[in-house]
Amino acid sequence: MRIGILGQPCIDALLYPGDDPSAPKRALGGVLYSYAAMERLMRENGSKTDSYVPLTWLSVPDRDYLETLLRRFEHIDRSAGLWQTDSLTNRVQLVYKESGDREEHCPHILPELTSEELTQSLLESLDGLFVNMISGFDILIDALETALRESKKRPFLHLDVHALILGVLSESGKGGYGLGRAPHGVRAWRRWLAVADSVQMNENEVRWFADPDFRSEEELLRAIERMEVHERPRQIILTRASRGASLYSFGSGEAHHIPVPKITAVETTGSGDVFGSAYIFSILQGKPPEEALREAVRWASWKTTLTSIEQILDAPLFHSNS
């Protein structure tokens, strides 16, 4: 199988309670979590022909740092994607609080992709496309619709709504950390649903995605159920952190909930990115949605026991304290 992963890499600056604000910890993040998860999934699957295509920009100024990780990926297909740019890679400042909550500030992001990058021939070469909205500006809906419309063979498209609900980029304030990005409704939410086969949201995102039209999970799900088949995805997946994830299949009316395995969570950053990779990979393997959901929960839960992207490649799988 050949899967395109569309989303932006990040260079994260992490501040934990008690840290010196002038010396944050630096780490790679963003869509790179999805790459690492897909890499591990394909290694575990044992197929030499599986590959994933990194549909994003490669920052020339940051290339050496990014390549420390990229060169470790054996299944990455660089015949397309990783288009060079002089723009800096996304800078994301993650400020963690004593409560475990965090604030996110994005003083700089990469340009969005256009239909010039996401060409007809590229899309037709893919079995699946994972659109992971890391910045919220990774690709605009106009460009995605154009690319899909011009493609004679449409890949299975899994959308992680993620930063689509976030507002404009924050401006830096005292100490270089701004007030963050406030959530807001996605004006084109119906168009985003129409291009996807499956859509992934967490409980905050489902609250804001269709605001002000619908402001609750129940309202949104009922509205989607009433849509015509061509207007809606096949599945909506709601991730619920320590309470697992739920999947709603429209048309059949089936609903499934998978709890998380008994683990000790250490770091939740990137777990949604891992979830999306595991879900689309499982679907393209031919697994039914409920089984794909179970696999996605298992992989995302495992990720919370790890503290870095690099560990996704090498750590023992699915350790449980049960």
> Over the chain, what is the mean pLDDT?
92
**296-318: per-residue pLDDT in tens?**
999 999 999 999 999 999 999 98
What is the rounded distance in angstroms from the CA atom of residue 9 to the CA atom of residue 262? 30
Predicted confidence (pLDDT) at residue 178 exceeds the cutoff of 50: no
Predicted confidence (pLDDT) at residue 282 exceeds the cutoff of 80: yes
What is the rounded distance in angstroms from the CA atom of residue 24 to the CA atom of residue 15? 5
| Structural contact between residues 43 and 299, judged by C-beta atoms closer than 8 angstroms | no
| Structural contact between residues 204 and 140, judged by C-beta atoms closer than 8 angstroms | no
What is the rounded distance in angstroms from the CA atom of residue 167 to the CA atom of residue 31? 19
| Span 252-268, average pLDDT | 92
The more confidently predicted of residues 98 and 111 is: 111
State the pLDDT at residue 233.
Answer: 98
Predicted confidence (pLDDT) at residue 77 exceeds the cutoff of 70: yes
| Structural contact between residues 83 and 117, judged by C-beta atoms closer than 8 angstroms | yes
| Span 136-147, average pLDDT | 96
| Span 148-161, average pLDDT | 96
Predicted confidence (pLDDT) at residue 322 exceeds the cutoff of 60: no
Q: Residue 175's pLDDT band (boundaries 50, 70, 90)?
A: very low
**105-121: per-residue pLDDT in tens?**
777 899 999 999 999 99
| Structural contact between residues 23 and 153, judged by C-beta atoms closer than 8 angstroms | no
Query: Could you tell me which residues are beta bridge partners of residue 38?
Result: none
Which of 110, 177, 132, 124 minimizes the C-alpha distance to 2? 124
Q: Residue 32's pLDDT band (boundaries 50, 70, 90)?
A: very high
State the pLDDT at residue 295.
Answer: 98
Domains, in order of start, for the chain: 2-314 (3.40.1190.20)
State the pLDDT at residue 177.
Answer: 44
Q: Residue 149's pLDDT band (boundaries 50, 70, 90)?
A: very high
Q: Measure the CA angle with vertex 32, ends 17 and 60; round to 5°.
A: 100
Task: With H, G, I as helix, E, B as strand and everything else as coil, classify residue 23.
Answer: coil
Q: Residue 180's pLDDT band (boundaries 50, 70, 90)?
A: low
Query: Could you tell me which residues are beta bridge partners of residue 128?
Result: 3, 156
User: Which of 190-195's residues contact partners 24+ apart within 8 Å by CB, and which partners?
Assistant: 190/231, 191/141, 191/145, 192/141, 192/159, 192/161, 192/164, 193/224, 193/227, 193/231, 193/232, 193/233, 194/230, 194/231, 194/232, 195/141, 195/144, 195/145, 195/148, 195/157, 195/159
State the pLDDT at residue 12.
Answer: 86
